[in-house]
Chains A and B, each alone.
Chain A
Amino acid sequence: MTTARAGVAPLPNPGPRPPGEAETLARIWAPPRGLAFLTVVNNNYVGVLYVGAAFLFFVLAGILALVMRAQLAVPDNTLVGPSLYNQLFTMHGTVMMFLFAVPAVEAMGILLLPNMLGARDLPFPRLSAYAFWAYFVGGIVFFASIFLGSAPTGGWFMNPPLTTATYSPGVNEDFWLLGIGFIEISAIAGAIEIVVGVLRTRAPGMTLGRMPVFAWAMLVFAAMIIFAFPAVILATALLELERAFGWPFFSVDRGGDPLLWQHLFWFFGHPEVYIIFLPAAGMVSMIVPTMAQTPLVAYRLVVLALVATGFLSFGLWVHHMFATGIPRLSLSFFEAASMAVAIPSGIQVFAWIATLAKGRRIRLTTPGLFILGFLFTFVLGGLTGVMVAVVPFDWQAHDSYFVVAHLHYVLIGGMVFPLFAAFYYWLPYTSRHALSERLGRWVFGLMFVGFHVAFFPMHFTGLAGMPRRVYTYPAGLGWEGLNLVSTAGAFMIAAGVALFIVDLARRFRFAIEGNAGNVWNAGTLEWLPSGTYATRSIPSVASREPLWDQPGLARDVEAGHYYLPNAPTGGRETIVSSPIEAAPQWLMRMPRPGWPPIVAAWFTAAFFLFLTVKWVLPACLCGAVAIGAMLAWAWRLDPPPLAAPVEVGGGLALPAYMSGPRSQSWWAMVVLMLVAGSVYGCVVFSYLYLWTVSPEVWPAADRLPDLVHLAVPAALYGASSAAIGLANRALGRGRSLHPGVVAAIVLFAAGFAADLFAHRALSPAQSSYGAVVYLVLSLAGFFGAVSIALALFATARYAHGLLDRVRRVTFDNARLFWHYSVGQSLVGLALVHGFPRLAG
């Protein structure tokens, strides 16, 4: 019976729910027991594991910093020599930036977003599990290198020529490349999850304009990863190619340039710090309204600020290179852009101030203290950021302790303090008990005071002439007192963190159903009563703070009166909705826990580890196991379609299978192609850059291969796309895939052979021109191989009757990727054969 409520839509499932329904839901979503618990894929568990691992790396990297500060406490100290110190600061930076900062905010997204958006889980739970385990195992092995004396020593930014094989012949820098590889995988996987999750699995009625600010922040975070990480992926690949095979991208004697690395690395490196900051700002935008018990003031302006910062941050990278001798006009463009990016930050700061002003009396709980500490510290750090954006000032401050001060003010102030606020704020969501308020004040006090004692003096230390990355310094230059104070502050911070760990051990007891509940009286959906299945039913929302605006929401959700109070297909499901209006579109069936993702992750980690130490045979064996596990995993993808749509309530019947542009896997593939395209954009940049700086190694137009070597591969590549198109048509008509796929494979392989043949006289180790042409060729080959593997996989499924006219997601993935590979190869042909003719 529908209960009519004035001005409000009737509940989708108003009557009482059948007995046993909630228990069935709980059983379907229950985590595995015993050792099999490791195979868990549910975001509630993976998120906590991920946050825990990130926090572990924070503590480990922090300990490295304490050793560094102990060494620098007095001049001419002999606690640590340069060899170990150089490993310490390289590891501190690398672990903090790559193994703590990005994973921590990504993990908060994984933990919070589904519940915040009204979904039961992320769209690709096994991918999250894989990404977590690859990151955790790879990260631990990477960190262990310091105990073997094999830790990298090139700084976290690894500038060549120092990091080429000539000046760093050992395996140390290869360990860095290993460590980074894991983060690249996890970050891309995370970006796919978050883009698809935020855009496609929101509660009905949660339009883009009603989405929590944290979801906007994570969407921008993911988009930034898509366009920024490719630059470091390419840079690290180029460095490894140079170290292992002598391809001279960065070596001047053969037409390379060390500055190519810096451009690629900082094109990633600057957005990286906003990738770290924006999610923290998003968390602040969730906590401040709760503190003030009033909605966020100027929501639209805050969203504008997040999106604008995301874009503008890609125009700042050369401000890390102001001292390289680039002409002053070029530098000035970046000074101007660096100032422009401060405006969106100003918008956010004033939105928070306005929200606090709007609230009634603010109770200063521990999250509130960390928020105020964040405001104080981050604003100061942002102001010193404007200072170092000024070119002549940066010529003094660059590579000195002034920058060390600035970066810690914005990273600790702008990310660690909000993270601790988030720990105190959201712990009741995932634990039976909240943390202690009394101890929390001590944790905050020690960390806040300790931070400023440690880092404020560094502004002066730097301007007094102390450069960065120095294992010791002489007496008599006025640096002794400043360094001693900084060391004292560092140990205060450590005391605060230690106290936090003690409290965590005492009070954190993981719980989903029995969690401490909505202790802050917050307004967003993650605070609804929930179980392993998230909420009992999926609510529809009509505002930004549903818990404040829809009284009785918690009760109705828990009683199953909203959408999907059960498991109609007998498995794990969630509702997929349209990206802008969040109108329900179809019901996605989601995977249960299983061994293939974790096995794949462990053996992927082992594969890269063995390659790093150059044990090729064990590497190949582990690689084979990893691929086998991935095949086992992929074989279970794409479950059989159900004939009839499924009732979810409110008269809504949703299809339980979707292929084509509405499916989540299509969207994942689009994100992957954007990543690949960004990598290729960086390749095109590298080609044009090397041409600009080393025209002497570029061939004249008449020394290029004849145009037939452009036409033939292009025709063959294009024909392979047509063949895949034919296979697509055949599938749509219920006819065999085989002819089209086989033709496509043969054509692509022939095209690639012709492509390679054109450059048979060229050697990649001889000049940077040879290296970059072989890079283009290698990518054509690599993407071709992956496309062929995907096509064969789809064909194998077809042969086993697991793929047909309706059930066709794996073939669509292969098709999309095939067309991308062909397109990319055609661009490569045009670049290599066309550009020198145009420019020469």
Chain B
Amino acid sequence: MRTQRFAATALGMSAGIIVWAVHFAAIYGATAVACARGLPQLVAPAVGWSTAAAVAALAVVLVRGYRRRHVFERWLGAALAALALVAVAWEAIPVLVVPPCGG
């Protein structure tokens, strides 16, 4: 049914950028709660594992999207996933340089 296909298409198209959103919420939330509760040692693992999971998920989205890239909606989904990959990578870099709960 056309309407249900729309919902599925819209979600499929946004899958990559939704992965970005979940990753961002996870790293920010984990850092905030860990620092508020005096557990700085949890920050780096939380960010590390979230990032690994996000990159893996994005790789899946990219490969599947690349195969049907001649269809507009599929191309858009793959392109969003590629941009999401850049954003996820950039957002993870600070954990390598900045101390977890310091000022």
A residues with a Cβ closer than 8 A to B are: 199, 207-209, 300-301, 303-304, 307-308, 311-312, 314-315, 318, 325-330, 332-333, 335-337, 339-340, 343-344, 578-581, 583, 585, 661-662, 692-693
Contacts and interface: CB of A to CB of B under 8 A. Distances in A.
A633 B43 CA distance: 55
Given A328-B102, A330-B32, A336-B91, A304 B4 contact: no
Best-surrounded residue of B3, B27, B76, B98 (most CB of chain A within 10 A): B3
B90 A300 contact: no
Nearest to A579: B6
A578 B17 contact: no
28 contacts: A300-B72, A300-B76, A301-B79, A303-B76, A304-B80, A304-B83, A307-B76, A308-B17, A311-B14, A311-B80, A314-B21, A325-B103, A327-B35, A330-B31, A330-B35, A333-B91, A336-B90, A336-B91, A336-B93, A336-B94, A337-B24, A337-B87, A340-B87, A579-B6, A580-B9, A580-B73, A581-B2, A692-B33
Contact of B24 (A315, A580, A693): A315
Interface of B: 1-6, 9, 14, 17, 20-21, 24, 27-28, 31-33, 35-37, 43, 72-73, 75-76, 79-80, 83, 86-87, 90-91, 93-95, 97-103
Contact of B79 (A304, A328, A579, A580): A304
Nearest to B14: A311
Nearest to B1: A661
Contacts of B14: 311
A308 B83 contact: yes
B91 to A, nearest CB: 4
A241 to B, nearest CB: 25
Given A330-B32, A337-B24, 11 more contacts: A207-B72, A209-B72, A304-B79, A307-B76, A311-B14, A311-B20, A314-B21, A329-B100, A332-B97, A336-B90, A578-B6
A330 B26 CA distance: 12
A505 B73 CA distance: 45
Contacts of B100: 327, 329
Contacts of B9: 580
Contacts of A340: 83, 86-87, 90-91
B36 A693 contact: yes
Q: Please report whether the interface of chain B is mostly helix, strand, loop or mixed according to DSSP.
A: helix
Contact of B87 (A312, A332, A581, A692): A312
Contacts of B90: 336-337, 339-340
Nearest to A301: B79
A208 B73 CA distance: 8
A687 to B, nearest CB: 13
Given A208-B73, A300-B76, A578 B2 contact: yes
A336 B98 CA distance: 13
Contacts of A208: 72-73
Given A300-B75, A311-B21, A661-B4, A692 B91 contact: no
Contacts of B99: 328-329
Contacts of A209: 72
B73 A329 contact: no
B2 A585 contact: yes
Given A304-B79, A308-B80, A337-B24, A327 B102 contact: yes
A329 B2 contact: no
A204 to B, nearest CB: 14
A667 to B, nearest CB: 8
Nearest to B3: A661
A193 B6 CA distance: 18
Of all A-B residue pairs in the complex, the 4 with the closest CB atoms, nearest first, are: A332-B94, A209-B72, A340-B87, A336-B90
A208 B80 CA distance: 16
B53 to A, nearest CB: 16
A335 B32 CA distance: 16
Nearest to B94: A332
Contacts of A339: 90
Nearest to A207: B72
B80 to A, nearest CB: 6
Contacts of B93: 336
A300 B13 CA distance: 14
B13 to A, nearest CB: 8
Contacts of B24: 315, 333, 337
A330 B14 CA distance: 25
A301 B95 CA distance: 31
Nearest to B36: A692
A327 B33 contact: no
B99 to A, nearest CB: 7
A583 B75 CA distance: 22
B41 to A, nearest CB: 13
A315 B91 CA distance: 10
A663 to B, nearest CB: 10
Contacts of B43: 329
Nearest to B5: A580
B31 A329 contact: yes
Given A304-B79, A333-B24, A336-B90, A327 B103 contact: yes
A339 B86 CA distance: 11
A661 B102 CA distance: 52
Contacts of A304: 76, 79-80, 83
A326 B36 CA distance: 10
B74 to A, nearest CB: 11
Contacts of B3: 578-579, 661-662
Contacts of A580: 2, 5-6, 9, 73
Contacts of A343: 83, 86
A340 B95 CA distance: 17
A315 B28 CA distance: 10
A141 B97 CA distance: 52
Contacts of A583: 2
A207 B2 CA distance: 13
Contacts of B86: 340, 343
A337 B83 CA distance: 11
A260 to B, nearest CB: 13
Given A300-B76, A340-B90, A329 B103 contact: no
A300 to B, nearest CB: 6
Given A300-B72, A580-B6, A585-B2, A328 B98 contact: yes
A327 B72 CA distance: 42
Contacts of A311: 14, 17, 20-21, 80
